[in-house]
C-alpha cells in the first residue's frame, strides 16, 4: 500500500534545501509514486533517480514529466537494497538521498547499514529519512550524524550528513 508523503512534509524538505536542489543529483528510494523525486526535478535538480519495486512511479512519470525533463529522470524498478549496491558499483554519487520506507517494517537499520557499506552520498550531501514519530533512529553511526530533525504530525524528517573525516 502506498503512503504518499504529506504535502506539508514535502514542502518542508524543499523549504529547508531551496537553492541546494538546483543542479543536484537526487535519489528517491522507496519512491512510490515518485512525488518527492518529481518535485526535486521541478525545483531544478540535474538528475533524479526514482527507485521502487512497484510500478506506480511509471504511471506518475507519464503525467508529470515534460519532454525537456525526460532526460533528467530515471526510474529503477528494483528492490531498493539491490539498487543501492548497483548504483555504488556504477560509481553513482548523490547530493541528496531521500528515503521513505514503509512504516512499521523496520527498514531503517538495514537502509543505514546499506548506505554505509555502499557509499553513494557525496561528501557534502544529505540523507533525508521520512519516518513514523515512534520510530527511533540513531543520532549517528560510523558514517552519518543527525543534522536536523523535524516533526510534522505523526511524521518525522531525520536529516543526516556525513561525519567529517
Sign of CA dihedral 139, 101, 98, 116: positive
Quick one: which of 124, 60, 70 has its CA closest to 97?
124
Lowest mean pLDDT among 1-5, 87-91, 123-127: 1-5
CB contact burial 32-48 (16+ within 10 A = b; e otherwise):
bbbbbbbbbbebebebb
Residue 68, pLDDT score: 59
Q: Please, what are the domains in the chain? A: 7-153 (3.40.50.150)
pTM: 0.90
The answer to whether residue 76 scores a pLDDT higher than 70 is yes
DSSP H or E run through 152:
strand 144-152
What number is the average pLDDT over the span 56-80? 69
Amino acid at each position: 500500500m502506498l503512503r504518499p508523503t504529506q504535502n506539508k512534509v514535502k514542502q518542508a524538505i524543499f523549504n529547508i534545501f531551496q537553492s541546494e536542489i538546483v543542479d543536484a543529483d537526487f535519489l528517491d528510494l522507496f519512491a512510490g509514486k515518485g512525488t518527492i523525486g518529481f518535485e526535486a526535478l521541478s525545483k531544478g535538480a540535474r538528475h533524479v533517480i526514482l527507485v521502487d519495486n512497484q510500478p506506480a512511479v511509471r504511471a506518475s512519470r507519464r503525467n508529470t514529466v515534460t519532454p525537456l525533463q525526460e532526460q533528467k529522470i530515471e526510474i529503477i524498478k528494483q528492490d531498493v537494497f539491490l539498487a543501492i549496491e548497483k548504483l555504488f558499483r556504477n560509481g553513482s554519487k548523490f547530493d541528496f538521498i531521500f528515503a521513505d520506507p514503509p512504516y512499521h517494517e523496520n527498514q531503517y537499520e538495514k537502509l543505514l547499514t546499506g548506505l554505509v557499506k555502499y557509499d553513494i552520498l557525496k561528501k557534502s550531501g544529505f540523507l533525508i529519512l521520512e519516518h513514523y514519530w515512534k520510530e527511533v533512529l540513531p543520532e549517528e553511526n560510523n558514517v552519518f550524524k543527525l543534522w536536523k530533525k523535524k516533526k510534522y504530525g505523526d511524521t518525522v524528517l531525520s536529516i543526516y550528513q556525513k561525519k567529517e573525516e
